Structure 1
Amino acid sequence: MNKFVLILFMGLALSCQDQKNSKKVKEDRQTGIRDSLTRELNQIHKLGFINGFSVAIVDQDSVLYQSGIGFSDMGNNTKYTENTIQNIGSVSKTLIGIALLKAQEMGKLNLDDPINQYLPFEVINPNYPKLPLTIRHLATHTSTILDTDFYNGKAYVLKDEQDRSSVNQEKLNEAFNPPDSRMPMIDFLEKLLSKEGEWYRKDGFATNKPGEIFEYSNVGATLAAAILEIAVDKPYSEFTKEHILEPLGMSSSGWTFDTIDLARHSKLYSDPKTEIPLYSLITYPDGGLITSGNNLGMYLSELIKGHSGIGTLLEKNGYEELFREQLSANSFPDRDEEDDYDDEYNTGIFMGFTPRGYIGHTGGDPGIATYMFFNPETKIGRLLMINTSVSNSAGVDEFYSIWNTLAKYENKLK
């Protein structure tokens, strides 16, 4: 080997070794950051107001951090992990948006179609009987359909009959109904929204014109999912499994107890000492997705990809519509400019925008709360799922301590 070749060979070898060393230093640094974050989260958990929770930090390429902290079952000291599953509340609505836009791509519906074009019963705002409500109105919470007491009183159904006696209704905002009260989603909506419906009330509709004012509506969201079912001739649960859950590999997720592994389901708590029996919603698309922090992280990563124009679930223009701010400031007379994570500052298609530019959604139901947002500039997102209702300021402080600690670490992990 001549001298020149030998020097070149040695130089290449040293370069490869430097790259390996640099990669190891970087990996060790990331491991140290993750360990430090886990220690801080465990320290926050010691405050004692949240029994168990799951967190994740993701970008459009991967999960940067995920962990479960605390307990999914206090009685049996079962650890809460990133693979523990539970319902996530209204974060579920973001799947309605993707499903609607997927159906629009397939030529099954158009967001600006009148809803009565699809429904087997007529839905009109009695204050404006000649103004048609559209699917877009439902998807932007401007349909004027309101959530009445019948929604809170009828939508929640216990998994098992024997659990009714163990529910302390005074600690909950919603009534839990027996399993035999379950009915098809479309029948529930007809009872609420048809003039001939058993629970119909004129004051179930706002007095402003459709399309004018943002008024958050669980009933309106459920109606959008029911219209999708009719348009695609397939149950919403099956359509979203086929076009969202399975393509993303969200194998731990589902809409009903018979589609998930119940052994991995967290117990839910109305406070750290009071367990809530398992329940579901007749209006399940508006808040009933059962998933894990791991699976929800996959979904959040896809949303970031979609916003960047490289998503896999929708075509590029579909994602552009999902993330387009649909309304003006005039549609939000009660805007909160101070809450960094107020997801009702503006809206896409069932996709919230906050005053600080974050995109995502929040969720809350008995025994759970969920935050899921990403920063469109840094392309980093984070999520938090908890299994305990927080009804006092100390519990709220613990929730935000977890959330803000994730924010402190997200750029370091990137």
Structure 2
Amino acid sequence: MEQNKITWRWLYLPLVMLLALACKKDKQEESKPPVEQPGADKLTDNIEAIRARSYFPGLYTAVIKDGKLIYARSFGVADATTSRTFNPSTIMPVASITKTLASIAVMKGIELGYFNMETNINDILPFAVVNPYHPDIPIKLKHLVTHTSSVYDTLSGGNDNLVLEKTPKQSLGDFLKDYFVPGRQLYKNSNFLGTKPGEKFEYSNYATALAAYLVELKSGISYASFVKKYVFDPLQLQSAHWFYDNTRSDLYAGLYHPIYLWLPVYSQSSYPDGSWRISGEDMVKYLQEMMKAYEGNSSLLKRESWQQIFTPKVTAVPGMDMCIFWFKKQDVYMHGGTDPGICTKIGFDAKRHYGWIIMTNTSVSATETVTLHADFNKIESSLIDFADRQ
């Protein structure tokens, strides 16, 4: 879920913690690949140099080349109050990278005969979703998965959907009903664009949540359970889950903000658009599988389903296409995510056969934390440069 602002009501940690985190070079916990690659130490030093002048409480970075993990490092702290280090098994939410799971879930639904890309979503939903400006033009599944549905996120960047609780207050279906049904609490005409469904790209969390809800309705199980069955379990992603789990509390990264410091645990009803929790080491497994999938070598789906996922459908912005919940720029497939206390990015170059991961437990915004955003991009660029030289 892409968001920049949130109003919180909590007790701030002392300012001294911020200063300590900003100035101290924290003890580094490393996840070493089997064989060190030339330039690995230089890459680590470069990332540490960026951290020394910036604000990244914790950080996980990894590079994959030809299917193998060639670099993996963790930096800093997962918990500033205890100085618990950020390590490969540290778990954190990954925000909008979560949407890439929806590409698999939707295509699995098609394989199971639930629907197809031309399906009118109102043929499945228990309530009607209609663009009030174009009531006679149906919203189809293909519109949801390419962000061309004309659905518009009006909830203050999505933040009104966040609650300071470990689990959401509403079910996925109840939230969507409140948002899309006239007369309900969250409904307004401006929840839709004035353009026709299929006419314009407009990134939407709630369109993604709608696609996930279709899977839930047709499968007869929760979307969370569906993804666990068809993705998490087959890939043995032991850390992957959706909602806060007290039994894993010692593995969670605390979430931080350069201005507000510590952030409390929060959750969201539209969890399919951004609530996936996972460790760095399991994210490596996932990205390795996606790189195999691009070649048609993943058993999670049929080869033709993967081809559909990675085939560009519409232009998102000049120079970048939208596939099925994956962005494509030249030969690179990618998705990032930002939420309060979270910034993540995964990507892979299909031509050069390398991929990268960066996960940090702090808020990064191109408009609010400009220097931090630039430093995040520099770390990502250094990972790509390292992969390119191998």
Range of TM-score over shorter length: 0.7 to 0.9
SS at 1:239 equivalent: helix
Given the alignment of the two structures, is residue 386 of structure 1 paired with residue 345 of structure 2, yes or no?
Answer: no
- AA aligned to 2:383 is L
- AA aligned to 1:303 is M
Q: Is the 8 A contact 1:88 1:288 kept in 2?
A: yes
Structure 1: give runs of 5+ residues left out of the alignment. Answer: 1-26, 161-178, 338-344
- Corresponding residue for 1:411? 388
Q: Is the 8 A contact 1:244 1:313 kept in 2?
A: yes
Match of 1:302 among 289, 292, 296: 289
The two structures have a TM-score, normalised by structure 1, of 0.81
Gap change, CA 1:31 and 1:323, over 3 Å in 2: closer
1:173-184 matches, within 5 Å, as 182-184=169-171
CA distance in 2, matches of 1:213, 1:139: 13
- Corresponding residue for 1:373? 347
The Cα shift of 1:411 comes to 3.1
- AA aligned to 2:369 is N
Gap change, CA 1:349 and 1:155, over 3 Å in 2: same
- Corresponding residue for 1:53? 59
| Higher helix proportion | 1
- AA aligned to 2:199 is E
- Corresponding residue for 2:298? 311
Given the alignment of the two structures, is residue 91 of structure 1 paired with residue 83 of structure 2, yes or no?
Answer: no
Gap change, CA 1:395 and 1:361, over 3 Å in 2: same
- Corresponding residue for 1:263? 250
Q: Is the 8 A contact 1:52 1:68 kept in 2?
A: yes
Gap change, CA 1:48 and 1:67, over 3 Å in 2: same
- Corresponding residue for 1:111? 117
Structure 2: give runs of 5+ residues left out of the alignment. Answer: 1-32
The Cα shift of 1:44 comes to 2.0
- Corresponding residue for 1:323? 310
Q: Is the 8 A contact 1:368 1:386 kept in 2?
A: yes
Gap change, CA 1:259 and 1:243, over 3 Å in 2: farther
- Corresponding residue for 1:220? 207
- Corresponding residue for 1:357? 331
SS at 1:30 equivalent: coil
- AA aligned to 2:73 is S
CA distance in 1, matches of 2:334, 2:302: 19
CA distance in 1, matches of 2:127, 2:343: 34
CA distance in 1, matches of 2:226, 2:381: 35
CA distance in 2, matches of 1:230, 1:28: 44
Post-superposition CA distance 1:376-396 (Å, at most 9, x none): 101111011111113322212
Q: Is the 8 A contact 1:151 1:219 kept in 2?
A: no
The Cα shift of 1:59 comes to 3.7
SS at 2:385 equivalent: helix
Gap change, CA 1:111 and 1:59, over 3 Å in 2: farther
- AA aligned to 1:140 is T
- Corresponding residue for 1:397? 374
- AA aligned to 2:75 is I
SS at 1:361 equivalent: strand
The Cα shift of 1:258 comes to 2.6
CA distance in 2, matches of 1:51, 1:35: 21
Q: Is the 8 A contact 1:55 1:82 kept in 2?
A: no
The Cα shift of 1:36 comes to 3.1
CA distance in 2, matches of 1:109, 1:336: 31
Gap change, CA 1:28 and 1:383, over 3 Å in 2: closer
Post-superposition CA distance 1:114-134 (Å, at most 9, x none): 101111101111111111111
Q: Is the 8 A contact 1:373 1:381 kept in 2?
A: yes
Q: Is the 8 A contact 2:36 2:71 kept in 1?
A: no
Q: Which runs of 4+ in 1 moved over 4 A?
A: none
The Cα shift of 1:408 comes to 1.7
The Cα shift of 1:33 comes to 3.2
- Corresponding residue for 1:233? 220
Post-superposition CA distance 1:205-231 (Å, at most 9, x none): 111111111001111000111111001
Gap change, CA 1:404 and 1:150, over 3 Å in 2: closer
Moved more, 29-38 or 227-236: 29-38
- AA aligned to 1:382 is W
Given the alignment of the two structures, is residue 80 of structure 1 paired with residue 67 of structure 2, yes or no?
Answer: no
Aligned residues: 355
SS at 1:214 equivalent: coil
Match of 1:144 among 137, 145, 150: 150
The two structures have a TM-score, normalised by structure 2, of 0.86
1:165-180 matches, within 5 Å, as none
- Corresponding residue for 2:132? 126
The Cα shift of 1:397 comes to 2.3
- AA aligned to 1:387 is N
SS at 2:283 equivalent: helix
SS at 2:36 equivalent: helix
Computing the radius of gyration from Cα coordinates, the structure with the larger value is: 1
The Cα shift of 1:40 comes to 2.4
Gap change, CA 1:28 and 1:379, over 3 Å in 2: closer
Q: Is the 8 A contact 2:95 2:339 kept in 1?
A: yes
The Cα shift of 1:74 comes to 1.6
Moved more, 139-148 or 56-65: 56-65
CA distance in 1, matches of 2:193, 2:200: 9
The Cα shift of 1:111 comes to 2.0
Q: Is the 8 A contact 1:59 1:301 kept in 2?
A: no
Gap change, CA 1:193 and 1:280, over 3 Å in 2: same
